[in-house]
Amino acid sequence: MRKLMLVALLAILGTSVHAQWLRYPTPGIPRTKDGKPNLSAPAPRAADGKPDLSGLWHVEPTPLAEMKRLFGENMDVVSVPGMEPDTISKYAINILLDFKPGDSPMRPAAAAVLQRRLEGTSEVLSSTHCLPAGIPFSTLVPGVAKIVQTPGLTLILLEVDSAVRQI
């Protein structure tokens, strides 16, 4: 019995593997002299000369102070765990935020639907009825997106809803 327990213990301990390579430098990323990723390097190019978007992408969150300034002081009252107001982009709330009221590129019918949804009178946001969440919304929340780009197909793997988009 002792030998069987020892074999079982060794088998369990021997299969322990680290799931993340924290110190593994991703090949192909331009680096500065100190080894950090060079964020000002030119965008990588695919064989056809077009930008290669392959890699992991994450939204740049809007600071909580800015969110409160734009959408009111109660921004930190309602939040989804892992998707707190200071972890999302302001564009997840209003993609047209930078447009002046008369300059929106939306058609009048679409603007009317959006206005009803924002007022909460007759409809709710489409993400509550249309799953998985679409682009750009799913890329403006804190989930990670991975883009795999090949000459004939581009895949966007979204952490949000585990969705896959094929282009």
Residue 3 placed within a domain: no
Q: Domain tally for the chain?
A: 1
| pLDDT tens-digit map of 102-156 | 788 888 898 888 777 767 644 455 555 566 666 677 777 778 889 999 988 999 9
Q: What is the DSSP letter of 154?
A: E
Residue 149 placed within a domain: yes
- Half-sphere exposure (CA, 13 Å, Cβ side) for 73? 0
In this structure, is the dihedral angle defined by the CA atoms of residues 19, 24, 27 and 31, taken in order, positive or negative?
positive
| pLDDT tens-digit map of 57-94 | 888 889 989 988 888 887 766 566 667 778 888 888 78
Residue 116 placed within a domain: yes
- Ramachandran angles phi, psi of 3, nearest 5°: -65, -40
Confidence of residue 32 (pLDDT cuts 50, 70, 90): very high
Residue 14 placed within a domain: no
Residue 58 placed within a domain: yes
Strand (E) or helix (H) holding 7 = helix 2-14
The predicted pLDDT at position 117 comes to: 73
Task: Provide the domain limits for residue 112.
Answer: 32-166
Query: Per DSSP, what are the bridge partners of residue 157?
Result: 146, 164
Structure tokens at 98: 């930078």
The predicted pLDDT at position 126 comes to: 54
Residue 16 placed within a domain: no
Residue 21 placed within a domain: no
Using CA atoms of 90, 94, 96, 98 in order, give the dihedral in degrees to the nearest 10.
Answer: -40
Asked whether the beta carbons of 104 and 111 are under 8 A apart, the reply is yes
